[in-house]
Amino acid sequence: MSLNFNLYTNKAFGCMVLLSVLACSSSYAYQPLCSNQSHPNYCKTQYKTQVDQINKLYFTSNLVTNAPLRLLQDTQHMWHSRLKQCKSKNCFEQQFNLRAEDLNAYSALNQSLTQHFIKYHHGKISQPQTYLQIHQLDQNKMKIEGWMYRNPNASLDKLSFAFLAYLNNTDKTKVTNNETTCQYQFNYQKTLLVVTSTNHVAKQNCQRFTGIYRLYD
Could you tell me if 3 and 105 lie in one domain?
A: yes
Could you tell me if 45 and 148 lie in one domain?
A: no
Could you tell me if 103 and 159 lie in one domain?
A: no
**Residue at which a domain ends, from 62, 91, 109:** 109
Could you tell me if 95 and 74 lie in one domain?
A: yes
- pTM: predicted TM-score of the whole model, two decimal places: 0.82
Domain count, the chain: 2
Tens digit of each residue's pLDDT (9 = 90 or more) over 78-124:
999 999 999 999 999 999 999 999 999 999 888 889 999 999 999 99
Closest listed residue to residue 94, CA positions, set 145, 188, 19, 160: 160
**Residue at which a domain ends, from 67, 88, 109:** 109
Could you tell me if 6 and 102 lie in one domain?
A: yes
Q: What is the overall mean pLDDT for the chain?
A: 85
What's the DSSP call for residue 208?
G
Q: What's the pLDDT band for 37 if we cut at 50, 70, 90?
A: low
Could you tell me if 32 and 132 lie in one domain?
A: no
Could you tell me if 4 and 89 lie in one domain?
A: yes
Could you tell me if 78 and 136 lie in one domain?
A: no
**Residue at which a domain ends, from 78, 109, 140:** 109
Could you tell me if 63 and 140 lie in one domain?
A: no
Tens digit of each residue's pLDDT (9 = 90 or more) over 60-72:
999 999 999 999 9
What does the pLDDT average to over 31-57? 86
Using alpha carbons, list the distances in angstroms from residue 134 to 18, 71, 112, 161. Answer: 33, 14, 11, 17
| More confident position, 28 or 157 | 157
CATH at residue 179:
2.40.128
What does the pLDDT average to over 46-51? 94
Could you tell me if 124 and 143 lie in one domain?
A: yes
| More confident position, 14 or 101 | 101
Could you tell me if 101 and 173 lie in one domain?
A: no
Q: What's the CA gap between 100 and 106, in Å, rounded?
A: 10
Could you tell me if 151 and 203 lie in one domain?
A: yes
- Determine the structural domain holding residue 79 and report its residue range: 1-109
Q: Yes or no: say if 169 and 159 are a contact pair by the CB < 8 Å rule.
A: no
